[in-house]
Chains A and B, each alone.
Chain A
């Protein structure tokens, strides 16, 4: 009887001992000889170190590392979830080691909540190929989400899309770029079904005036998305009336897959959005660079990335672009259709949009069916243009469009193809973005030489090929002049921003023209011979187009201006007035502009100002032009001849 209780304690002791060994044995064991997983990790890290993978170009492309000015690297990526190592943003080697380690883990990481192998599938596949992962020691994870996403593209090729500049929104003044993932079996008429890869800043709805400032200095986050191309076409062609250029890229299927794998990873990324450099264009170039690391596209941009420049760069790479397609904005389609008609028929189409009774008028009924269809299509385009560009459009516009379309459907014939010839040639044929010029001339009783540099982008007299017609954006320009007789060297002019948009008005198009300018120039005023003068000017007006010679645009503005200079009493003057002017293409290379301005200043130094300007440009080549300019103000005449080079 007694033996039993004695046995039990002993037995218990053994059990406790056994459990103890079971629980704690693995720890000392691991110290003695690591588990197979860790030894394999150590092996891989070692192999990676020997192969110098952390300094390989591909690794730097995948992690978006850029060389620092004073050695070392920093990633342009700003989301900590993008890195496996806490030091990943600045330490490529630590990031590589941490990435290899994370590939062994089932933990769901990043914004996309997947295992590292799937969330960073391009890194995984590249390292797998470089280090020849042993699938038995590092088992691959099935990445169903990625595979479904990838399969859904039915990807065959990539097209670079460039919607041209749209001045009425500061965010798109320089145009935009995005990629389209073309589908297998896609035709010209089904390409709108393809997805795009779009990079854009996430701007809060109430951004208001903070937008430009935060946009320039990286105050917003940019993200990648796959918006269907049909929504993009609607946005640019139908709503904003911007021409779209499509550049089909010559990528192999393997390169397309690389691009999409990296795009998938960027779902976990966010970049601080810098309007001038790290913008849509810059980050798309990074994607193209990963697809084909030999391209070296991002290397070419140091200070700013202008969408048209990226298009120019891509188009300049031999064999990269296999085809260019043009998609006209609705407004340009209307213009070309109207041009193709005798004036009377164009007017008839316009009358239909105002009075449906025209549909039964003899003038319309006597036309052939094809012509009737063409006029009704044009009428519907007019109406849709009005509906899309009017604030809260009156409902009768929509009703009239329905009625026109109903009449159109009853003709029972399909519309014929109409090819729209673009007004602005494709962007890569245009001059480069920055401009430097040297010039010499006379001012009053003196002679001078000057040099001038402008960061961007295009003014009304610059060669117009490839640029939105009648639009000017000058950013950051500086001019220094030396006056010989006065023996004085001074900053003659400086421009912060000088933006001007002329929109020719006619029966269909009613958009106003506008301008805004902030900068300084040099004036002769009162007793002051050469005086610095701060200028702030804004105006709104209208323009009309004509074809007396080749093409002319006549414009008029009502404007307000504020000046600041020590030449004035109380150092300033504020007033208003107007400008009239003419812009004329004399030949393909020769352009003329003339304008006269009268301003009356009612505040500060009460005075008035009458000035006029005549300027001419002659294009020598894509990036070289000559200028002759004459500026007149009261007792102040300035003539200058200059050579301008774009770079």
Chain B
């Protein structure tokens, strides 16, 4: 099932502490290592698959990663996504929905991404039009690395005649 795909991406994000330590990459950001991980280790995560799969309904990954007042783990702190990871994590975990909505020029995932990126609600339509126009290149970037896609969208906002002025982040 493609439950695997989505939950693998969760595994890539969260289940990697052990793998990370072995990969000897200490400089992977604030305990999260999102940028380096991306989809590169996808194949190595296969063995985690069934475990995470099970977790979808019974909350194994949830109770660890998002467990209330459990301290710091991966990208989360006491169960909350760290502020500096919010946007990239959202982009990574919702990539399929985002790519569909970018093509469609609207949708709640896209509106949520715009909000996370500081685009005020009254400019969402302009944001949607912009991501629709750049769909092909954004998705190509995003398939390699959702982090790079967020960066590309940020750059596009900066060059946009209207969005650049109103965006708050």
Q: Please tell me which one of the listed residues A113, A193, A225, A264 contacts residue B112 in the complex, with CB atoms under 8 A apart.
A: A193
- Complex CA distance for A62 and B69, rounded to whole angstroms: 17
**Contacts of B78 on A, CB cut-off 8 Å?**
112, 145, 148-149, 267
Q: Please tell me which one of the listed residues A200, A228, A234, A414 contacts residue B63 in the complex, with CB atoms under 8 A apart.
A: A200
> Which segment of A382-390, A476-484, A518-526, A577-585 sits at the interface?
A382-390
**A226 to B94, Cβ gap below 8 A?**
no
**A225 to B10, Cβ gap below 8 A?**
no
By the criterion of a CB under 8 Å from any partner CB, how many residues of chain B are at the interface?
Answer: 59
Write the chain B residue with the least CB distance to A199: B59
Q: Does B1 contact A (CB under 8 A)?
A: yes
**Contacts of B69 on A, CB cut-off 8 Å?**
111-112, 114, 119, 145-146, 149, 264, 267-268
Q: Does A413 contact B (CB under 8 A)?
A: yes
A202-B60, A239-B1 known; A226 vs B79 contact (CB < 8 Å): yes
Q: Does A96 contact B (CB under 8 A)?
A: no
Minimum Cβ distance to chain B for residue A241 (Å): 11
Tell me the number of A-to-B contacts counted with CB atoms below 8 Å: 183
Q: Does B39 contact A (CB under 8 A)?
A: no
A interface footprint on B41-84 (CB within 8 Å = 1, 0 otherwise) = 00000000011001111111011011111110000011111010
**A202 to B103, Cβ gap below 8 A?**
no
- Complex CA distance for A235 and B2, rounded to whole angstroms: 11
**Contacts of A112 on B, CB cut-off 8 Å?**
69-71, 78
Q: Does B132 contact A (CB under 8 A)?
A: yes
Minimum Cβ distance to chain B for residue A120 (Å): 11
Minimum Cβ distance to chain A for residue B15 (Å): 11
Q: Which of B3-62 contact A (CB under 8 A)?
A: 3-6, 10, 50-51, 54-60, 62
- Complex CA distance for A260 and B69, rounded to whole angstroms: 12
Select the residue from B59, B69, B96 with max chain A CB neighbours within 10 A.
Answer: B69
Which 9 pairs of residues, A with B, have the shortest CB-CB distance? A200-B59, A267-B69, A267-B68, A409-B135, A414-B105, A205-B51, A112-B69, A405-B103, A189-B111
| Residues of A bordering B, CB below 8 Å | 111-114, 119, 145-146, 148-149, 152, 169, 171-172, 187-193, 195, 197-198, 200-205, 207, 223-228, 230-231, 234-235, 238-240, 263-264, 266-268, 373, 377, 380, 384, 387-393, 402, 405-406, 408-409, 412-415
| Residues of B bordering A, CB below 8 Å | 1-6, 10, 50-51, 54-60, 62-63, 65-71, 77-81, 83, 90, 93-94, 96-97, 99-100, 102-109, 111-112, 115-116, 121, 125, 128-129, 132-133, 135-136, 139
Extra 10 A-B pairs, beta carbons < 8 Å, given A145-B78, A189-B111, A225-B59: A148-B77, A190-B111, A198-B59, A201-B58, A234-B6, A390-B2, A409-B103, A412-B105, A414-B125, A414-B132
